[in-house]
Amino acid sequence: MFFCAISAVSYALWSNLWQDNWYLERPEETIGTKIREVIEVFGRLVLQFTLFVPISLLTTLEIVKVVQGYIISRDRKMVYGDVKAQTNSAGTADDLGCVTHVFSDKTGTLTENCMLINTLGIMGDLNRHFGPNPHSMQPCDTHVSQKFPTRGIKAVSTGKDEANLRRSLLVLGLCHSVLRQQRDESDSDDGAHQGTPVA
């Protein structure tokens, strides 16, 4: 509105200075016609600036987001071991500002997870326990810190459910996509794996 008012006043001043040009057909001017003309120019400028200013604001905001992403990726305090922060999109800073809860998935993308099988249900049978505890896991149990138990798997691998067991374990092991990245030029064979769940 400020720009519109300045532009309308500037138009009124310009109109008074250049109104004698022969190629401008102007009706006889009174105070009322001048005020009406300034109001019309103000309205035209409001319509023009409502389209122009938001586009320039959006462009400026995108530039600011890119600069914020660059600053995040160059921040020396946002390093975990040898891994630096990486921004994959311009809206990363906006997304970080909206975070209220952090959830982790089975690939350990956010934290290093040690998720082990406690109970495996195959073909409707939910009573197979693969740990030293024969009782089912209670809702309050949140972490199991033991090696992968194979005693229960070996017990059912000789029975009729062997094919279903193999298929279930294959799905359990392969239900994410893995992206292999080389850590640096010297490590040609050893790469970093990043997984993303697709279920």
**What are the residue boundaries of the structural domains of the chain, listed by start?**
2-74, 104-197
The 3-state secondary structure of the chain, one letter per residue: CHHHHHHHHHHHHHHHHCCCCCCCCCCCCCHHHHHHHHHHHHHHHHHHHHHHHHHHHHHHHHHHHHHHHHHHHHCCCCEECCEECCCCCCCHHHHHHCCCCCCCCCCCCCCCCCCCCCECCECCECCCECCCCCCCCCCCCCCCCCCCCCHHHHHHHCCCCHHHHHHHHHHHHHCEEEEEEECCCCCCCCEEEEEEECC
Q: Give the per-residue pLDDT at 99.
A: 79
User: Higher confidence at residue 148 or residue 89?
Assistant: 89
pLDDT for 199: 43
- Residue among 20, 82, 95, 105 flagged as catalytic: 105
pTM of the model: 0.31
Mean pLDDT value of segment 112-133? 58
For residues 85 and 180, the model is more confident at 85
Tens digits of residue pLDDT in 131-167: 555 544 455 444 444 554 555 555 555 566 677 777 7
Q: Identify whether 105 is a catalytic site residue.
A: yes
Q: 184 pLDDT band (50/70/90 cuts)?
A: low
